[in-house]
Amino acid sequence: RLNTPLAPVTLPELRPCFADSRRLTGHNRFFAGTGAVLDPLGPAAQDAAAHERWRASVIAMRAALRWAEAPVVVRRHAGGTLLAMAAPGHALFTATEINEWAWEQASGLFQAGGNRAVDPPFDQLHPLGSEFGEVVAAFTARAAAENDPRLSALQAAARDHGVPLFADDDEISLGAGAGSRTWPLAALPDVNDIAWDALRDVPTALVTGSNGKTTTVRLLAALIAAGDLKYRDHVGYSSTEGVAIGGQRAGEGDFSGPAGARLVLRDARVEAAVLETARGGILRRGLAVDRADAAIVTNISADHFGEYGIDSLDDLAGVKLVVAHALASEGTLVLNADDPVLLARARGQACKVALFAADDAHPALAALRDQGGSTCGGDGHHLWLTHRGTRSRLGEIRRMPLTLNGAAIYNVANISAAALAAAAMHVPDTVIAAELTRFGQAREDNPGRLDRWLLADITVLIDYAHNPGGLALLLDAARRVQRDRTGRDARMGLLLGQAGNRTDQAIADIARTAAAGRPDLIVLKEIAGMLRGRARGEVPAMLKNGLLAAGYPPDNIRILADEVDAACELLRWAQAGDVLVLPIHQAAARSIFSALLDDLEKDRWRAGRSLPALSRPILP
């Protein structure tokens, strides 16, 4: 009988009255601290009266559970509403359930007296009804069961000792880097058994923004490592490209969220940390850290609109500026004064703000210097740092390798941001100046970000440009690079693709940006690892439609599915004097193609010659 197959059972499909309900495990766009957020569905989702009923239910439940008074937020956006409630970190699962229950009550699922509405559009997820006393008792029991007294004791002791605590679903850590220890959640130590004197924090910087994050992370890590012997091989960083400790890879892939931060901060080799802090991680879970010494916001440009209630540049700036919540009392927020959205937000920050701009004479920089603040900017030839009343010339911009002899103007902003954060973290200005003339000479310093190969008669640039703003800057830099090399304008070939989780409008926008750059050939590619819900071939077809709508000639468009194949197509097309611009997004594809370019550069390969067979297989 045990081996007899059971008849299939069809269960009714649940129809919850919300699209998403999740914990916020760190500082977030709604408030400083932890909590829960809900994305409601149905006609009531846009009903202000329903929102007020939800708010009242949440506040009443919080009070009944004797949780401290804290923010309860209704955030309207183009696609709906977000309902967020602050909650203690030891009861976040309970908080998500309270949020769901409160919305079920507010959204009209029940009639007076707690009876279900007739033929409701959604299913109730909780067996809890409307009898408030019974619901309070249920949530009190759930919060008590969720609260591990050992973890609560460790959290309290960590606060008393000034030691950071990092927790996830499997482990907790006390301290950071070389001053940390980690335990499984199932085997937490007793507070009295911990050698608290051996635990400590490490200097930490956060880097966020729309473009330039990874370059800025890598440069800032190099500046800190050069600033003191104890940091030389002990700076860890996390980024879109992976995790590195002391210059050695410790993880590959996108580690720009909380998981990457914890990987760095739990490594016993780390004496200082630089953490790329991407929009997605902040929106999904919040910040991974409660404290930082410096935080950079590089810029704000249109990207990811429509996701998680982000509709505008101002919305996006609010997400990026969550990093300010983590700044210590002496911490510094580094902002781009050339970005009008960030400059407007700079005035409302409670922390210390430092500003950078292309022009050191920018009025906002001059005003901040008059107040004794820190700035960094150029005068057309040199880069100037003003910090703690001292004005230092950091060197000639054209001699800084990241600027590609001054052609990559946008990298001056990344350099300035890193220099300000490094100064805030006590790196001497003389060290900063010396490192800026070195970093970027070797491709290993900043792989995949404006990598340049000077083949015998063409120039190849590989970058990660992934949004219209980044692509426009890359195309401008490419023109300047080839003009500097040949003394004339050159033909340009462009590789173009996009991740599938961008909106139709975002895909059309990057196609329009590509067309405006007037490349002579555009090869469209599929990013196999980034379909993200789109069908194969869908994104290249949309990009082609966007190019044609922008007036780009159809005869100058080719489509190849594989990234390496598509990049090789541009090499075969190239003529002497051309420049090829290759945003390659898959790390494996970039590795394969970079190895090919290394061989071509060594062999003095010339345009028009056949390409050697690849030593590794092309990606599927």
The confidence score (pLDDT) of residue 352 equals 96
Distance CA 89, CA 104 (A): 23
- pLDDT tens for each residue of 333-384: 999 999 999 999 998 899 999 999 999 999 999 999 999 999 999 998 999 9
Distance CA 313, CA 150 (A): 43
The confidence score (pLDDT) of residue 87 equals 97
In which band, very low, low, confident or very high, does the pLDDT at 4 lie, cut at 50, 70 and 90?
Answer: very low
The confidence score (pLDDT) of residue 113 equals 47
Q: Is 410 helix (H, G, I), strand (E, B) or coil?
A: helix
- Whether 30 has a pLDDT exceeding 90, the answer reads yes
Joined together, the tokens standing for residue 457 give 């008669």
User: Does 273 or 168 have the greater pLDDT score?
Assistant: 273
Cα→Cα distances 212→76, 319, 452, 470, Å: 30, 17, 17, 8
Q: Is 217 helix (H, G, I), strand (E, B) or coil?
A: helix
Complete DSSP assignment for 29-50: SS-SS-EEEEEE-SGGGG-HHH
- pLDDT tens for each residue of 129-138: 778 999 999 9
In which band, very low, low, confident or very high, does the pLDDT at 125 lie, cut at 50, 70 and 90?
Answer: low
Average pLDDT over residues 10-32: 84
User: Does 11 or 144 have the greater pLDDT score?
Assistant: 144
Residue 383 CA neighbour count, 13 Å, CB half? 31
The confidence score (pLDDT) of residue 486 equals 67
Instruction: Say if residues 172 and 185 touch (Cβ distance below 8 Å).
Output: yes
Q: Which of 3-7, 229-233, 265-269, 431-435 has the lowest mean pLDDT?
A: 3-7
- pLDDT tens for each residue of 521-548: 999 999 877 888 899 999 999 999 999 9
Closest by CA position to 518, among listed 565, 481, 556: 556
Closest by CA position to 236, among listed 204, 277, 209: 204
- Most confident range (mean pLDDT) of 8-12, 104-108, 602-606 is 602-606
The confidence score (pLDDT) of residue 585 equals 87
Closest by CA position to 223, among listed 327, 324, 296: 296
Cα→Cα distances 134→61, 64, 128, 139, 144, Å: 11, 12, 8, 9, 15
Pairing of strands 165-167, 579-583: unpaired
- pLDDT tens for each residue of 55-73: 999 999 999 999 999 999 9
What integer best gives the mean pLDDT of the chain?
Answer: 91
- Whether 181 has a pLDDT exceeding 80, the answer reads yes
Distance CA 16, CA 22 (A): 14
- Whether 427 has a pLDDT exceeding 60, the answer reads yes
- Whether 8 has a pLDDT exceeding 70, the answer reads no
Q: Specify the pTM.
A: 0.90
Q: E strands along 116-271, which residues?
A: 165-167, 171-174, 181-184, 204-208, 235-239, 242-245, 248-252
Cα→Cα distances 613→119, 170, 432, 607, 618, Å: 65, 46, 43, 16, 10
Instruction: Say if residues 450 and 223 touch (Cβ distance below 8 Å).
Output: no
The confidence score (pLDDT) of residue 307 equals 82
- Whether 11 has a pLDDT exceeding 80, the answer reads no
Helix residue ranges, H only, 206-362: 213-227, 258-265, 279-284, 313-320, 340-346
The confidence score (pLDDT) of residue 301 equals 87
Reading phi first (left if > 0) and then psi (alpha if -120 to 50, else beta), residue 601 is in alpha
Percent of residues, the chain, with pLDDT higher than 70: 93
User: Does 487 or 106 have the greater pLDDT score?
Assistant: 106
Average pLDDT over residues 552-560: 97
Closest by CA position to 18, among listed 35, 36, 41, 34: 41
Average pLDDT over residues 307-328: 92
The confidence score (pLDDT) of residue 461 equals 95
Say how many C-beta atoms besides its own lie within 10 A of residue 181's C-beta.
Answer: 15
